[in-house]
């Protein structure tokens, strides 16, 4: 084991090659020189390790083993990493494949929806084309239709103005017609708008008639008729307290209030008889005064009305006022004033004009009579003629 080969070429320390004849085998000669100590055979390994070449070879072998072990370890780790990466890639590929399938299905659904939307878009385009065609057809006759509508509005307003005197309604109709023409913004309508503006100024210059206020006053008088006192409804006056003298000869409070002196405390028989006669005569005179009353009345028949006749008098007065209200709304001033005059005459003839309620009703009727219910309203012929002339020219 410790023997060396027979003929190896051993390198010298200085770098020269020693010839084979210079080697001494262990059997023929000792290892050391004659002056060196003899080295035992068991220490040949230590001697080998003491040589730099052997140490370098050993270190190189160790390093090579370590490098091999490290490389093998890294290779195993790399193989494990690659395996894990491949597993992850396989899972990712599976997920990707599933996502691709889902995407393909979604794409198919989107294609179906896109087809439906395309069909709807086609229908919408066709409908839009039809609407555009209709709009073009309408726009051609829009001016004519607008003028026809304005002519109808002006004709209706003119009739209301002439028949019912509805100035506010006619004014609103003219203003609406002018507003409609202003929206079209066409210079051809300037002539019509000028005519309408002149008619508007005429209507604004008219005096206003407060028909609602007059009608309200008439309604107030009608509501008070049932509570107005009639001449035939007058009650008799309250009886005056009689002046009495007590048997003791002392006058009662009624006698003292009348200014009569008090009787003596102890009257005689004649005095008592005189007092009794006086009391009886006073009572008799009071009763006679309650039975007979003297009044000055221009129409004696008003005092002789029965309850049914009184009812019809009140109803006739209501009818007169209602007729006056209708005449007010229809602008019939003659009938309006005739009915009001008749109502005033009935109040004076059958009702108690001294009562405050009757006087208030008469005052309201006088206020109504002071109003002028008829005015000279113009016609709207200028505006109508302007519209008709434009239509005939076009």
The whole-number pLDDT of residue 31 equals: 44
* Res. 5 pLDDT band, cuts 50 70 90: very low
Q: What is the pLDDT of residue 15?
A: 41
Q: Please give the structure tokens belonging to residue 245.
A: 């003298």
CB 276 within 8 A of CB 316: no
The phi, psi pair for 230, rounded to 5°, reads -85, 160
What does the mean pLDDT of the chain come to? 76
Residues 376, 386: Cα–Cα separation, whole Å: 23
143-208+376-393 architecture in CATH? Up-down Bundle (1.20)
Residue 20 clears pLDDT 70, i.e. is over it: no
> Residue 379's closest CA among 155, 152, 148?
155
Please give the Cα distance from 47 to 54 (Å, whole number): 10
Distances (CA, A) of 312 to 36, 91, 306: 180, 110, 10
**Of 119-133, 166-180, 373-387, which range is least confident?**
373-387
Q: Which two tokens stand for residue 197?
A: 């503006």
Q: How far apart are CA 11 and CA 32, in angstroms?
A: 18
Residue of 236, 101, 358 whose CA lies nearest to 93: 101
pLDDT at 322 over 90: yes
Q: Write the DSSP symbol of residue 230.
A: B
Are the CB atoms for 230 and 350 separated by under 8 Å? yes
Residues 10, 214: Cα–Cα separation, whole Å: 154
Paired tokens of 312:
């019809």
Q: How confident is the model at residue 91 (pLDDT cuts 50, 70, 90)?
A: confident
Q: Which tokens belong to 26?
A: 């262990």
Please name the residue that has the structure tokens 């294609």. 111
pLDDT at 388: 85
SS3 251: strand
Nearest of 311, 316, 310 to residue 339 by alpha carbon: 316
For residue 304, the model assigns a pLDDT of 64
**pLDDT digit string, tens, across residues 22-60:** 444 444 444 444 444 454 554 566 666 677 787 788 888
Could you tell me which of 328, 339, 330, 341 has the C-alpha nearest to residue 371? 328
To the nearest 10°, the Cα dihedral for 54, 55, 56, 59? 120
Q: Which is higher by pLDDT, 188 or 126?
A: 126
Per-residue pLDDT band for 288 (boundaries 50, 70, 90) equals: confident
Angle at 154 between CA 135 and CA 164, to 5 degrees: 145
Residue 271 in this model has a pLDDT that exceeds 90: no
**Residue 340, pLDDT score:** 93
Interatomic CA distance for residues 66 and 4, integer angstroms: 29
**What is residue 232's DSSP assignment?**
G
By residue count, the chain amounts to 394
* Amino acid 359: pLDDT: 92
């Amino acid at each position: 084991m410790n023997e060396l080969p027979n003929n190896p070429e051993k390198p010298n320390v200085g770098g020269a090659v020693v010839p084979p004849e210079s080697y001494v085998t262990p059997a023929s000669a000792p290892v050391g020189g004659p002056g060196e100590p003899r080295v035992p055979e068991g220490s040949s390994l230590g001697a080998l390790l003491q040589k730099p070449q052997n140490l370098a070879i050993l270190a190189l072998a160790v390093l090579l083993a370590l490098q091999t072990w490290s490389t093998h370890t890294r290779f195993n780790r790399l193989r494990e990493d690659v395996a894990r990466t491949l597993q992850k890639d396989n899972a990712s590929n599976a997920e990707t494949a599933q996502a691709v399938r889902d995407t393909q299905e979604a794409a198919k659904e989107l294609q179906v929806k896109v087809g439906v939307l395309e069909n709807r878009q086609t229908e919408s385009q066709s409908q839009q084309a039809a609407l555009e065609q209709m709009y073009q057809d309408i726009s051609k006759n829009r001016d004519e239709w607008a003028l026809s509508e304005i002519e109808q509005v002006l004709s209706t307003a003119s009739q209301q103005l002439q028949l019912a005197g509805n100035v506010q309604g006619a004014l609103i109709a003219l203003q609406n017609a002018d507003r409609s023409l202003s929206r079209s913004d066409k210079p051809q309508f300037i002539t019509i708008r000028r005519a309408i503006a002149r008619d508007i100024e005429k209507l604004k210059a008219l005096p206003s008639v407060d028909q609602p206020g007059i009608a309200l006053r008439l309604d107030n008088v009608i509501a008070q008729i049932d509570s107005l006192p009639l001449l035939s409804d007058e009650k008799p006056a309250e009886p005056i307290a009689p002046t009495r003298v007590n048997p003791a000869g002392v006058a009662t409070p009624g006698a003292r209030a009348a200014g009569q002196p008090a009787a003596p405390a102890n009257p005689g028989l004649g005095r008592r008889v005189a007092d009794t006669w006086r009391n009886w005569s006073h009572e008799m005179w009071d009763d006679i005064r309650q039975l007979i009353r003297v009044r000055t009345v221009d129409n004696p028949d008003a005092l002789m009305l029965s309850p049914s006749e009184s009812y019809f008098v009140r109803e006739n007065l209501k009818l007169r006022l209602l007729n006056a209200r209708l005449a007010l709304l229809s602008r019939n001033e003659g009938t309006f004033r005739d009915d009001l005059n008749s109502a005033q005459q009935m109040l004076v003839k059958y009702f108690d004009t001294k009562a405050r309620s009757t006087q208030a009703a008469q005052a309201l009727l006088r206020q109504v009579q002071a109003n002028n219910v008829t005015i000279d309203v113009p016609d709207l012929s200028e505006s109508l003629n302007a519209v008709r002339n434009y239509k005939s020219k076009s």
